[in-house]
Amino acid sequence: MSAPLERVVLIGRDIELRIVSLIVRCREVANEVILFDTGSNDETVDLAHEVGCKVVHHNGDLVPQHLAKAVLSLESFDGLTLCLPITARWKLSDLPLSVNRAREGWDIHHLYREASSGDSGEGTLLSSTELGHLILSPKGAEHLAGLSEAATTEDIADTIRARFVKSGVPIQLPQRQSLATASRFAQLFYWMLESKHPLLLFGIPGVVLFVLGYRLSGDLASMFTELNSTSIGVTLITIAMTLIGLFAMMVALILYIMGKQVARIQNQYNWPKGS
């Protein structure tokens, strides 16, 4: 079955622990995933590029009119677009709910929370809403982008199939969560796997080898009562295992410290990462 969405636009900053799993899951329901980065200071953009996700640096406000203009400025815009702000309150289990709303064929479907008092007798002021999700068709995006900053929900034309839903308490659905969102430790471990972190590549094997070598060295005196080729070989292997483990832990720490220093220098002098 073809995907109901043409693209999913992820909006957020400093989400390096979640970005890879988000992109993978969104690609299951959409043909394209785009990251609207709002000013990340971590490796969010780099990880998005590594998994082949297009990144757009978005500096505008997260109001429906501005987002509609940003979506229209993409290279190709056809089909439905789902805009998702990735905040601390948003969970991966909320994605199926937004996808199901996209299947209903709305030109504009805006799930929001009111950030300020913008509800009057003439409708809700669009610029006063805090984005939950925004689903746009080409027709809906063009109409929404043409509205003024003072536009309300009542200013939407009758020819546009639009629905505005005010959300209070988040809806709890019994959905599965990926390993990356199961816990903070799982997020950290998943990020270390994706980024090939030196503490994982060298640190964990080093600790294992060092502990095994240390434990075996304590039993050598009781295991062998005479000196022969077998005892010498086992002794040398144990010593080598311990030294290799210690060396691997040192390499992991050195690479980790060097990586932090390089990143700090790049940020200080505004050097492009990867150069």
19 and 82 both lie in a single domain:
yes
Q: Is 81 helix (H, G, I), strand (E, B) or coil?
A: strand
| Token pair of 246 as six digits | 């210690």
131 and 215 both lie in a single domain:
no
Instruction: Identify whether 231 is part of a domain.
Output: yes
25 and 154 both lie in a single domain:
yes
258 and 162 both lie in a single domain:
no
135 and 207 both lie in a single domain:
no
Taking the C-alpha atoms of residue 163 and residue 146, their distance in angstroms, rounded to an integer, is 18
Instruction: Identify whether 230 is part of a domain.
Output: yes
Instruction: Identify whether 190 is part of a domain.
Output: no
58 and 157 both lie in a single domain:
yes
pLDDT score, position 136: 92
Instruction: Identify whether 46 is part of a domain.
Output: yes
**CATH number of the structural domain spanning residue 12:** 3.90.550
pLDDT score, position 96: 87
Instruction: Count CA atoms closer than 13 A to 201's CA, side-chain side.
Output: 13
120 and 161 both lie in a single domain:
yes
135 and 53 both lie in a single domain:
yes
Identify the domain boundary among 130, 157, 181: 181
255 and 170 both lie in a single domain:
no
| Token pair of 138 as six digits | 């080409």
Taking the C-alpha atoms of residue 175 and residue 258, their distance in angstroms, rounded to an integer, is 41
Number of structural domains (the chain) is 2
Instruction: Identify whether 188 is part of a domain.
Output: no
Q: Is 104 helix (H, G, I), strand (E, B) or coil?
A: coil
List the pLDDT tens digit at each of the 275 positions of the chain. Answer: 344 688 999 999 999 888 998 999 999 889 899 999 998 898 999 999 999 999 999 887 888 898 989 888 887 767 899 999 998 888 888 888 888 888 888 899 998 876 655 555 567 888 888 888 999 998 999 999 898 888 888 889 889 999 888 876 555 555 555 544 455 666 666 666 666 667 666 777 888 888 887 777 766 655 555 656 666 777 778 888 888 888 888 887 887 777 777 677 766 666 655 54
In this structure, are residues 18 and 188 in contact, taking their beta carbons and an 8 Å threshold?
no
pLDDT score, position 134: 92
| Token pair of 112 as six digits | 């929001």
Domain residue limits at 50: 5-181
CB within 8 A of 51, min separation 6: which ones?
A: 20, 23, 24, 194
110 strand-pairing partners: 134, 164
166 and 209 both lie in a single domain:
no
In Å, what is the CA distance from 196 to each residue of 17, 52, 244, 252? 13, 17, 20, 11
pLDDT score, position 34: 93
